[in-house]
Each structure stands twice: as structure tokens, then as C-alpha cells.
């Protein structure tokens, strides 16, 4: 078969990973084409207008340690603004009581606080021993990968409320999987990828800023700069390859390339047929990677009424349907938006309800935190990533028990001219846009060094 187009590098997937790889390859003088299934670029970054309100349906926050993302924002000339955080935050404890607090220490009993401080110290020590790009190399990695995070917490700490809160910051808030489904090593990796467990707990740090106009501006601006090289509406279903290059036929076009970058989540790699098949280890590693599940709920009100009541809009509880919530009001907007997250088992439970009942249950949880006015939003929207065939979940994918040490070292292996990566396989910035940009840059660098 002869090709209609011949390029140095073909990139599959126009998310942050694929577009940043293509951008770096273009800057390095390589000819590039990017094929994207959807009719838009950005993948898990998506800003859309819903009932007259601009909502960040996917990823949105930027934290001060995310150097790759901060450098990209500079490069693209994008501006950020600080999340509103003045006022008191809300916590609902094991006793069902609602309490307000300021700062990062939850208003729990002194014994619970002491245990949380102790376990936080243990997780910080463990994460300091880990290179997040090689978690399987840390001392004791295999043993930590054989116990669930819940099991490790039960062995480590006798206090239920302390355990539930520590679990929440990794399970519900990050991996969006129940703490009994992933290993303690995976939990430590999540912490190490953000610098420390203390960073993850510190919402002032981890959810610091947003991009004016939305974080999707990163892929949108990259795509604009790449111009005609980016082709949306091209779902790559089949790749033919040899040691010397690849051939892809898609949307009536056959493209030949010396290198192929597949910048899609591990689960989406499995949708593509390879001829000849990829080495079996490539499929096996990805069979042990699965998406977490979280519903991101946006509720917009005529005003940010909670601020008038002295509340910041920040709320946490491992016992509430909405385990965390924040003021998500857009830059320079008079309407107020709350964003809340319903994760893993709670997400399963509410997704089994009718849409009306689910809205009632979720708004009732926001009312517990912010009072009756939270029950009457002018606009209500649930980001639904479960129904997205190209990802089937949020925020990202991670290994099942034991997978990190058993398959992790093979996950980034190239197969001949094919490299595969996304934020789901990042070290620093794992499951975040920062990690996507790091993986994109690494894949581009290895191609530039080779050819
Ligand atoms: C609800 C939600 C909230 C989040 N919050 C944050 C946050 O606050 N901060 C943060 O940093 N991160 C956040 N994230 C995570 C962040 O959005 C992702 O880690 C990042 O955007 C992933 O980028 P990626 O390019 O690696 O993958 P993706 O964005 O998934 O891009 C992959 C692309 O490949 C395309 N594709 C797949 N298969 C094919 C195929 N066969 N042919 C062609 N194209 C294909 C897809 O359509 C997609 O566009 C959040 C994610 C979600 C869903």
C-alpha cells in the first residue's frame, strides 16, 4: 500500500501529552501529523458553555510544584488566577457533626489529629524514599505493592476517623478508587508524584490556581500553533508497523511515518489493532491498568452566597456523598460556582439512581456543607466521563494490586518505532496535566535523540 502522506512522526491523540510531544518535535525540525478521534482537541481538558456558564468539565487546577505545566503556561502566554479561599472551610466528621475551621488541620478530636499527623509523617517518609519515575525501585516496594492501601492503614493506625481521612486524600480525592482496590505502593506513588503526602493534603497548595479561560487553553493554543498538522475526527483503529516505521489508514487517508507516538490512556491503547500484534507484555501491562471513577458536579448560583456567610466554599468529609467541594467561581464573574466531587463507591451508588434523584442526593450533600441555599442552583451540571468510550472514567488510570512492581517497569517500553504514553504513566505529575507534558516531552526527546 502506498501512503498519501509521509511524515517523520505520527501522533495519535490530541490531549496535553500528544500535542506537547508534537509541538516539541515540530520545534526540533521534524514533520508531524496529529490524529484525534474526537471533534475537539484537549482530551480530558475541556471547557464548555452549559446554560450560559463556562465550565471546566475536565482538569483545571495548577499547583506551584508543577514546573512543566507552569513553563508551558509561560511559553503559551496563558494567565492564571488564584482559587477563592478566604473564609472558613467545613468538615463533617465520623460523628456526623458539621464543623468549620481555617487552615489545613481538620477540626477533629486531638487523638484523631495526633494519629493523622503520625500517619502523614509515615507517608511523607515513604514518599521521600521513592523516585516517582521508578516506584518499583524503592526499598520494600514489593511488600508495599502486595498490601492494599486500606490494609496498610488498618495495620498502621487504630483510629477509624484518622484512617478514613488519610484514605480520602488518596483514594477518593486522587486515584478515585476504593482504598481496598490499589496497593500501598500505588498510594505512596501518588504522594511522591506530587512531592509528598503533605502536599496532597494541602488544598491551598495542590488546588492553587486556574487558567483564565480554562486549562483547555493549553491544548487549544498548542493545536493552534501546530495548525493543519492536527486533524480531529480521526479515530485510529489500526496500525501496521515494521522496525522501520508505521502505516496508518484513517478517514480515507494513509499516512506513513518513521515514528509513532500513541498519546492515549493505557485502556484506550487496547482499542487499537496492531499488525503485527504488539509484544504480549504491552497488552498484559495495560490489562492491569484501570480508570478510577469520579463525578465532578458544577452548581452555579446567582451569587457566591457562601462567601457572605463567612465560608470559603471548601469542604471535606469521607462520610458525605460529596467528599470534597470548592469555590469554583470563574475569573471576574459575579455568579458563584461550587464544584463538588463524588468518587468511587459513592459514584457507583449515585450513578445507579435516576438523574433527578442523583441531583437531589448530591445537592443535599452540598446543603449539609453550605446551608439550604446550596439546594437551589441556577445551573447544575455533572461531568460525565464514565460514558466517554475513549477513557471511561476520571481522573486517570492506575495499576491494580501488585501491578506497579510486576508490570510498571515495562509500561514505558517502546515497541520498535512505537512509543506509548499519557499522564497515566507519568512519574512526577502522575494523572495530572503536568505529568502529561512531562511524558510528551520525554517521548519527543527520545525521538529527537534517535533520529
Ligand atoms: C474530571 C477531571 C478533573 C481533572 N482535574 C485535574 C486538575 O484539576 N488538574 C490536573 O492537572 N489534571 C486534572 N485531571 C487530569 C488531566 O486532565 C489529565 O491527566 C490530562 O489531561 C491527560 O492528558 P493526556 O493527553 O495524557 O490524555 P487525554 O487527555 O485522555 O488525551 C488522549 C487523547 O487521545 C484521543 N484518543 C484516544 N484514542 C484515540 C485513537 N484511537 N485515535 C485517535 N485519538 C484517540 C482522545 O480522544 C484524547 O483526546 C482531571 C481529569 C478529569 C477527567
**Where is average pLDDT lowest: 4-8, 117-121, 138-142, 248-252?**
248-252
Q: How much distance in Å is there from the Cα of 69 to the middle of ligand 1?
A: 14
Which of 60, 251, 261, 423 has the most ligand 1 atoms within 8 A of CB, as the residue to mutate? 423
Say whether 107-201 and 47-62+81-85+206-211+294-383 share the same fold. no
Q: Is 203 in the pocket of ligand 1 (CB under 6 A)?
A: no
Which of the four pLDDT bands, split at 50, 70 and 90, describes residue 252?
A: confident
Reference 87, options 349, 309, 239, 286; nearest CA is 309
Which of the four pLDDT bands, split at 50, 70 and 90, describes residue 44?
A: very high
Radius of gyration for the chain, computed over Cα atoms and rounded to the nearest angstrom: 22
- pLDDT, position 208: 85
What mean pLDDT is predicted for residues 140-159? 98
Q: Looking at ligand 1, which atom is closest to the CA of residue 383?
A: 1
Q: Where do the domains of the chain lie?
A: 5-45+216-289+401-450, 47-62+81-85+206-211+294-383, 107-201
Q: Is 112 in the pocket of ligand 1 (CB under 6 A)?
A: no
Q: How much distance in Å is there from the Cα of 386 to the middle of ligand 1?
A: 13
- pLDDT, position 228: 97
Which of the four pLDDT bands, split at 50, 70 and 90, describes residue 413?
A: very high
- pLDDT, position 334: 94
What mean pLDDT is predicted for residues 254-276? 96
Which fold does the domain 5-45+216-289+401-450 belong to in CATH?
Answer: FAD/NAD(P)-binding domain (3.50.50)
Q: In terms of CATH architecture, what is 107-201? A: Orthogonal Bundle (1.10)
For the chain, what is the mean pLDDT? 96
- pLDDT, position 384: 83
What mean pLDDT is predicted for residues 55-60? 96
For ligand 1, atom 25, the nearest C-alpha belongs to 15
Which of the four pLDDT bands, split at 50, 70 and 90, describes residue 206?
A: confident
Q: Is 60 in the pocket of ligand 1 (CB under 6 A)?
A: yes
pTM of the full structure: 0.97
- pLDDT, position 205: 83
Do 371 and 309 form a contact (C-beta atoms < 8 A)? yes
The CATH class given to the 47-62+81-85+206-211+294-383 domain equals alpha beta
What mean pLDDT is predicted for residues 193-217? 92
Q: Is 191 in the pocket of ligand 1 (CB under 6 A)?
A: no
- pLDDT, position 246: 98
- pLDDT, position 15: 98
Which of 12, 14, 15 has the most ligand 1 atoms within 8 A of CB, as the residue to mutate? 15
Instruction: Return the percentage of the chain with pLDDT > 70, whole number.
Output: 99
For ligand 1, atom 48, the nearest C-alpha belongs to 43
How far is 200 from 173, CA to CA, in rounded Å? 9
Which of the four pLDDT bands, split at 50, 70 and 90, describes residue 129?
A: very high
- pLDDT, position 245: 98
- pLDDT, position 171: 98
Q: Looking at ligand 1, which atom is closest to the CA of residue 236?
A: 42
Do 201 and 104 form a contact (C-beta atoms < 8 A)? yes
Amino acid at each position: 500500500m502506498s501512503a498519501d502522506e509521509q511524515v517523520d512522526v505520527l501522533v495519535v491523540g490530541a490531549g496535553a501529552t500528544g500535542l506537547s510531544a508534537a509541538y516539541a518535535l515540530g520545534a526540533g525540525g521534524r514533520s508531524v501529523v496529529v490524529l484525534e478521534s474526537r471533534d475537539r482537541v484537549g482530551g480530558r481538558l475541556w471547557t464548555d458553555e452549559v446554560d450560559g456558564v463556562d465550565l471546566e468539565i475536565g482538569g483545571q487546577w495548577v499547583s506551584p510544584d508543577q514546573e512543566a505545566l507552569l513553563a508551558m503556561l509561560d511559553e503559551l502566554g496563558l494567565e492564571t488566577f488564584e482559587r477563592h479561599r478566604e473564609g472558613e472551610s467545613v468538615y463533617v466528621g465520623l460523628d456526623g457533626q458539621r464543623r468549620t475551621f481555617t487552615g489545613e488541620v481538620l477540626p477533629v478530636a486531638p487523638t484523631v489529629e495526633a494519629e493523622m499527623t503520625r500517619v502523614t509523617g509515615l507517608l511523607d517518609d515513604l514518599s521521600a524514599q521513592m523516585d516517582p519515575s521508578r516506584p518499583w525501585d524503592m526499598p520494600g516496594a514489593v511488600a508495599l505493592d502486595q498490601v492494599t492501601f486500606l490494609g496498610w492503614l488498618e495495620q498502621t493506625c487504630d483510629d477509624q476517623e484518622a484512617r478514613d481521612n488519610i484514605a480520602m486524600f488518596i483514594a477518593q480525592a486522587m486515584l478515585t478508587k476504593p482504598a481496598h482496590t490499589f496497593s500501598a505502593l500505588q498510594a505512596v506513588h501518588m504522594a511522591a508524584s506530587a512531592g509528598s503526602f503533605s502536599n496532597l493534603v494541602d488544598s491551598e497548595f495542590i488546588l492553587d490556581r486556574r487558567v483564565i479561560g480554562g486549562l483547555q487553553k493549553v491544548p487549544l493554543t498548542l493545536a493552534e500553533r501546530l495548525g493543519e498538522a492536527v486533524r480531529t475526527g480521526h479515530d485510529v483503529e489500526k496500525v501496521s508497523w515494521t522496525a522501520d516505521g508505521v502505516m496508518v489508514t484513517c478517514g480515507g487517508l494513509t499516512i506513513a511515518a518513521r515514528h509513532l507516538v500513541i498519546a492515549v490512556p493505557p485502556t484506550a491503547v487496547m482499542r487499537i489493532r496492531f499488525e503485527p500484534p504488539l509484544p504480549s507484555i504491552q497488552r498484559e501491562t495495560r490489562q492491569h491498568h484501570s480508570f478510577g471513577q469520579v463525578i465532578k458536579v458544577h452548581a452555579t448560583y446567582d451569587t457566591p452566597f457562601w462567601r457572605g456567610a463567612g465560608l470559603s466554599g471548601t469542604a471535606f468529609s469521607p462520610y458525605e456523598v460529596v467528599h470534597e467541594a470548592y469555590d469554583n467561581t470563574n475569573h471576574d464573574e459575579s455568579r458563584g460556582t461550587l464544584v463538588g466531587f463524588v468518587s468511587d463507591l459513592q459514584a457507583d451508588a449515585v450513578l445507579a439512581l435516576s438523574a433527578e434523584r442523583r441531583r437531589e442526593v448530591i445537592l443535599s450533600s452540598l446543603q449539609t456543607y453550605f446551608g439550604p441555599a446550596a439546594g437551589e442552583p441556577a445551573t447544575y451540571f455533572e461531568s460525565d466521563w464514565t460514558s466517554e468510550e475513549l477513557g471511561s472514567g476520571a481522573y486517570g488510570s492506575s495499576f491494580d494490586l501488585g501491578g506497579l512492581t510486576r508490570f510498571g517497569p515495562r509500561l514505558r517500553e517502546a515497541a520498535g518505532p512505537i512509543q506509548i504514553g499519557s499522564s497515566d504513566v507519568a512519574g512526577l505529575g502522575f494523572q495530572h496535566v503536568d505529568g502529561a507534558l512531562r511524558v510528551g516531552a520525554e517521548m519527543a526527546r527520545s525521538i529527537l535523540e534517535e533520529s
